């Protein structure tokens, strides 16, 4: 199994499995974001944004659905994502990837009427998380492969 982003075997998964895999990987990539020291004026606004969003995503995965909270999180991510893409917020690459991985999960979850958009958003989250995890040295390629083996096997069973 290849855990790199050059092979997107996870696109063969169901939307539900892609969401779960994206969530698991984003959670693993979170230390790249949390260990980065934001400068003071951004610290209060941004620092807890990915972690809080992941907590509410986890609650939704456990059946405690609150789409309003997900909408609020998504809205809170929009301006920072635009600023990151425009170069106004400069972060190390792995930090940016960890942040964007959570944003893409939210985008996918809120794209309920368009399966293609949702799966693309989850795929983007997965790719960004894997890269963030590798670059930040959170896990080795082998450890990532072991962690996502369940999803790889599911993709082959479809």
pLDDT digits (tens, 9 = 90+) for 81-121: 999 999 888 889 999 999 999 999 999 999 988 999 999 99
| Sequence ranges of the domains in the chain | 9-157
Length, in residues, of the chain: 158
pLDDT band for position 55 (cuts 50, 70, 90):
very high
- Taking residues 17-44, report their average pLDDT: 85
- Taking residues 55-82, report their average pLDDT: 91
pTM for this predicted structure: 0.91
pLDDT at 32: 94
Q: Mean pLDDT of all residues in the chain?
A: 89
């Amino acid at each position: 199994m290849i855990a790199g982003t050059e092979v997107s075997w996870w696109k063969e998964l169901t939307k539900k499995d892609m969401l779960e895999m994206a969530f698991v990987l984003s959670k693993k990539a979170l230390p790249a974001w949390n260990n980065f020291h934001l400068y003071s004026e951004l610290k209060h606004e941004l620092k807890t944004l990915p972690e809080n969003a992941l907590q509410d995503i986890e609650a939704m995965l456990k059946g405690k659905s609150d789409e309003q909270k997900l909408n609020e999180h998504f809205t809170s991510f929009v301006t920072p994502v635009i600023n990151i893409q425009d170069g106004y917020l400069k972060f190390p690459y792995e930090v940016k990837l960890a942040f964007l991985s959570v944003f893409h999960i939210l985008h996918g979850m809120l794209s309920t009427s368009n399966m293609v958009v949702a799966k693309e958003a989850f795929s983007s989250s997965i790719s960004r998380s894997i890269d963030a995890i590798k670059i930040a040295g959170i896990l080795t390629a082998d450890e990532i492969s072991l962690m996502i083996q369940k999803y790889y096997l599911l993709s082959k069973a479809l």
